[in-house]
Structure formats: structure tokens, C-alpha cells
Structure 1
């Protein structure tokens, strides 16, 4: 190696952000192994690379002893003092043993070490960049797919999207541009591995942050999201400022903001509801678009009993219980839905009593499928997906 090599390392340090001293120390350690392997030597050695000229020297390290048992590792006190009078027993003497043709081995070893270090550094930079993007949204280009994953190019790295993170209503083709949610970034022996999702509720949240300036600047806050990817989602929003309409902000003029998100999610229906710290009001809002006559709360069991008009029962429960199920996931409360007539028969509701305010906070998406398969509604919670 020569000064040109040292200049090249300086250039790598500037362009790749790799400390030149770290590379040189790695080369020195690799040359020790190369020396022992190629010259069949077992003694302790130290390799030194001159930081200015690039010259390489190999030194055998021997311990000073009274009596020598292994000449490869030890040197007698008399022999050590012949080199320098300052040596004493237990000191270490260094004797240069640089082979004549060591330059060829050094050049080859240096190339391998530099290549490896550059690769490791690039992987480290990519990992550092993406670990900060975990739980964030990125746009990528579909590259290929197999029976397990969709492979998406995110620029510096290729991310993978497992089958269970793919939208059931979507098909992915080569060169398709998609937005995806980064669920996990981890180091592997082959470099950083990026896991992405199109079904994660976080994707919906990030899309609203991109499209709604009031969410981005904190004026409107997303309190909760529940999602059945590709079919329907609910999102609860809140604004501290009473002058700000959080639902209207998310819907946008003529529904443009939310429509952009619906288009990105290939037609997934989205209910935007107003969050409340009053569980009665919150649960009633979450069951949008159905009207609610009464909500009773059981704090101990974290359960609510909801009374709806007879003609709203199937709408409140939703197709295959979807509306009630999403509302339960959104609020974190179990929801027991009963029709007005059933509640009267059971003595749970008095139509002559002062009515609670009817709740319906659906400002968008009134195209609901009210098909309901069973006659008896049941209790829905975030862990119960059946009736």
C-alpha cells in the first residue's frame, strides 16, 4: 500500500462517513490473521500501517523471560538487553519480521476489509435512516412478489410486505406505486430488514395526517382508529378549540380530503366520528350512522347497553356485526345493542320518559349496507368478532 491508498481512504471517509482510523485498525487486525495463515507462523505479532506513507511493518512480540521454553513467544533476558538495556523480565520486545512479499497479501486483504467496512457502513446508515421512520408512512414501487411477500422498493432498500399485511381487495403489479406503513425495522446479517403493511390502522392515521393540515399541526387530534382493511374503518377525532369542527376538518370541502384517502385505500369506507370523554356520547357517536335513543354505562365491566329504534337495529349492528364491532374497537367499550321494542319488553327502556339526545355524527359516507344476518343482536367488544 502507498500514499494513494491512504488518499483513497480519506475519500471514503468523506463520501461514506466511515472513520479512516476505524478502517486502518480493521486492516491491521486482518493482516495479522493473513500473516499467520500465509507464513505458517504462530507467534504473537503486531501490524502497523504508517498513517502518512501507507507502509506496512510486521512486528513479532516476545515476552522477556529468564529461561526460554518457546522461542516463538519468548526471548531471554540477555538477548533482550542486547537490543536495549532497558528491557526487564516480563517486558515485551518487538522484533520486525515483515516478509518481503507481504505487500501482495496486504493489498488483497485491504481491499476485502475496505469493501466489507463500506458495505457495513452503508447498511448502518440505511438502518439509522429507517429506524427513525418506524410507524411512519412511505411511498414505494412494487418490484416483485412470491407466495409469501410483496417486495417494494423504498429507494435505498427493498421492503417486504407479508400476505397478512396486504389488502384483500388489492392486487399488486410490477411498478405500482403504493403508500405503506412501516411496522418494523430490524438488523439482520444481510442488512436492515423493513416490514411494511397496507392493513395496519396506523396507515389510516398517517394518511389523515398527510391530507388534513389541522391534524398535522395539532389543532385536531386523532384519538382512536379501528379498521377492517379494504372494507370499513372508523376514526375518532377531537379538537380542544370549540370553534374548530374536527369532523368537518377531516372531511374537507365537498369531502375532498377524505375522498383522497378513500381512493388511496381503493374504496375502503371511512366513518369519521367525534370523540368524547363521556362514554355515553362517545359510544353513540361511534355507532354512526345509526341513531341512538339511549346509552347505559356499566363502569365495572366497561360495558354499554345501547337502545336504538327498531328500524335502525340492522344499521347499528351492521353487516355481519361490522358496525358494532368497529365501534367497540374504537371506543374500547363492550356494546350490547337492543332494539326499542325488545328493550321495552325487557323493561330496559321507557318510551314515555324524556329521551336522551339522538346521536348521529356521520358527516361522510352514507352508503351503508344494512344487511343483518341474525335476529338477536349480541355484545360486541374489541376481542369478539362473532355474534
Structure 2
């Protein structure tokens, strides 16, 4: 190797953000392995060698190393104290003595090997940089460009990578067309042998949470907090919110002036209905709110079994339960309580 090659290495280090020391150490380790493979017999002194590269001029030196001992048991790895002192009087017991054993043609072998190692390191570094970049976006929203649909998967360009929205992560009834933009929730970023793999979703409740954070400044600033979300993607979501400032109405902040904020989120979710619920630490209040838009007459809670019996007016029963039981199902998910709903007349009949 020569100064030109060292200069090229330094350019790569600067451009790719690779550690210079790590790159040189990796090349030295590879050269050491190559020397042992090509020049070392099983009992050769080369079995205990080190390779160094001069960081300025690229000169390569191979050294066989021996440890200074009082009594020699292995001529390959040990040297007597007297003999060591003949080389340099400063040597003492347990010091390591280097003997240069650089082969004449080793420079050419080294240059070829170094190129291979550098190429591999660049690939690894680039993969690592891309992984770290997307890892920072985990549990956040990214925007992708739809590329194509194949075998149920929707393939999306998300910048430096291509990913796929799996069938279970696609919103029911949503149409994905090239080259439309789409907002995606990053569920997970994996580091695989082939590089970063980004798992994305359109159905995850986290997508709704992040959209509210983008649209509602009070949530972004922490004045209003989203306590829980339950979602049946493409159909309906319930979002429980609380205000940490008594002067700020959490539901009003989420809805926005003339409903603009919530409408922007509904548009992004292709018409998915959104119920914004006021969270309460009192389970009776929270459960009653969660069953919105139905009006609740009473809530009787069983703390031990975390279940609640709810009574509504007869004309509110179907609204409270919802189409195919969706409203009560989402309310149960939102609150974490089992909910049993009866109409007023059913409750009175049961009491009698």
C-alpha cells in the first residue's frame, strides 16, 4: 500500500462517517489472518504475529512476537531474558519482543485484501447509518410514496429504503395508487443481515395518536394528553384526552376551530369516524363518556373484576351498543373495563 491509498482511505472515512482507527484495525486483523493462512506452518513463529500499517505512508510490517521469560518452554513464542537484553538492554521479564518477518511480496497481497475489507466496511457502515436514521423514527409517522401492489402487499418508497404495508396493516377499503403519498406509522425497525427493515402500518392506534400530535399544538406541547386510544381501522376510533390546564378544554382543543383539526385527521384516515372522549380517573365517569354518543343513566362498577354494569334509556340502547357491537367494544378497549349494557326497562325487569 502507498500514500495514495492511505489518502483514499481517509476520504472514505470522512465521506462515510466510518471510524479511521476501526477501519485500520480491521485491515490489520484481516492481514494478520491472511499472513497466518499463507505463510504460517502449524509450528511457525507466524502463529503469534501482529501486523501494523503506517498511518502516514501506508507501509506494512509483520512482526513475530515472543514473550521474555526466565526459562524457555516454547521456542516459537518465548525468548530468554539474556538473549532479549542482547537485542535491547531495556527488555525485562514478561516484555514482548518483535521480530520483523514481512515477506517481500506481502504488499501486493495486502493491497488486494485491504480493498475487499474497505468495501465490506463501507457496506456495513452505510447499513448502520441507515438503520440508525430509521431507528430514530420508530413509533413515529413517516410519509411514503406508493410504488406498486403485489401479492396483497403495498410497496412504498420511504426515502433511502423500500418497505411494504402488509395485508393486516392496510386499512379496509383503502385504495393505494401509484404515485400517491401516504402517511405511515413505524411499528418497528429491525437490523437484519440485509440491512434495515422498517415495519409500517396504517391500522395501528399509534397512527391516530401521532396525527393528533401533529394537528393539535396543545398535545404536542403537553398541555393536553392522550390517555388511551381504541381503534377499528377504517371504521371508528375513540380517543381519551385530559387537560393539564384547567383553562384548556381538551376536547375543544382536539376538535379545533370549526372542527378543522379533527377534520384534517379524518381526511388522512379516509373518513374514519373519531370520537373524542374526556378522560376521568373516576371509572364511572370515564366509562359513561367512552360510550358516547350514547347518553348513560348509570354506571355500577365492580373494582375487583374490573367490570361495569351500565344502564341507558331504551331509545339509547342500540346507539350505546353500536352497529355489530362496535361502540361498546371500542369503549371496553378504551377504558380497559368489561362493560355490560342494559336498557332502563331491562334493568327494571331484572330488579323485579
| TM-score, length-scaled by structure 1 | 0.81
Residue matched to 1:58? 62
Residue 233 of structure 1 corresponds to 237
Offset, 1:65: 7.4
Q: Does 1:130 align with 2:140?
A: no
Of the three residues 153, 163, 167, the one matched with 1:163 is 167
Matched-pair contact (CA < 8 Å) for 1:2–1:54: yes
1:113 offset after TM fit, Å? 1.5
Match of 1:29 in 2: 29
Structure 2 distance, partners of 1:87, 1:127, is 48
Q: Report the equivalent of 1:176.
A: 180
1:118 Cα deviation after fit: 2.0
Q: Deviations over 1:145-186 (max 9, x none)?
A: 543744433223333433222222223344332111111122
Is the deviation greater in 299-308 or in 322-331?
299-308
Quote the offset at 1:127 in angstroms: 2.5
Q: How far, CA to CA, are the matches of 1:101 and 1:78 in structure 2?
A: 34
Residues 152 and 159 in structure 1, CA contact (< 8 A), matched pair in contact too: yes
Match 1:46 to one of 42, 46, 50: 50
- C-alpha distance in 1, partners of 2:109/2:152? 44
SS in 1 for 2:351: coil
Shift of 1:226: 0.3
Does structure 2 conserve the Cα–Cα contact (< 8 Å) formed by 1:137 and 1:179?
Answer: yes
Q: Which residue of 2 aligns with 1:376?
A: none
Shift of 1:81: 6.2
Distance 2:200 2:120 in 1: 28
Q: Secondary structure at the match of 2:14?
A: helix
CA offset at residue 202 of structure 1?
Answer: 0.8
| 1:358 alignment partner in structure 2 | none
Question: 1:299-339: CA deviations, max 9, x gaps?
Answer: 22222211111122111101110000001111112111111
User: Pick from 322, 346, 349: which aligns with 1:345?
Assistant: 349
- Counterparts of 1:70 and 1:243 in 2: how far apart (Å)? 84
Partner residue in 1 for 2:322: 318
Corresponding position of 1:186: 190
Paired residues, what number?
A: 348
SS at 1:237's partner residue? strand
C-alpha distance in 2 between matches for 1:147 and 1:193: 19
User: Residue 20 of structure 1: CA displacement?
Assistant: 0.9
Q: Which moved more, 1:5-14 or 1:204-213?
A: 5-14
Tell me the equivalent position of 2:287: 283
Distance 1:64 1:214, change over 3 A: closer
Q: Corresponding residue for 1:14? A: 14
Matched residue SS, 1:346: helix
TM-score computed with the length of structure 2 as normaliser? 0.89
1:103 CA drift (Å): 1.9
Equivalent position SS for 2:65 = strand
Q: Match of 1:364? A: none
Q: CA deviation at 1:95?
A: 2.1
Which ranges of structure 1 fall in alignment gaps of 5 or more residues? 349-387
Equivalent residue number for residue 105 of structure 1: 109
SS at structure 1 position matched to 2:296: coil
Kept in 2, the 8 Å contact 1:169–1:266? The answer is no
Larger mean Cα displacement after TM superposition, 223-232 or 239-248: 239-248
Q: Deviations over 1:15-64 (max 9, x none)?
A: 32222111111111111112233345552221111111111111222456
> 333-342 or 129-138, which moves further after superposition?
129-138
- C-alpha deviation, 1:86, in angstroms: 5.8
Q: Distance in 2 between matches of 1:306 and 1:344?
A: 13
Matched, 1:118 2:122: yes
Please give the per-residue CA displacement for 1:240-299, whole angstroms capped at 9, x wherever unaligned.
Answer: 333322212211222221121111111211111211222222111111111212222222
Helix, strand or coil for the counterpart of 1:171? coil
Cα distance in 2, alignment partners of residues 184 and 72 from structure 1 = 52
Q: Distance in 2 between matches of 1:143 and 1:336?
A: 46
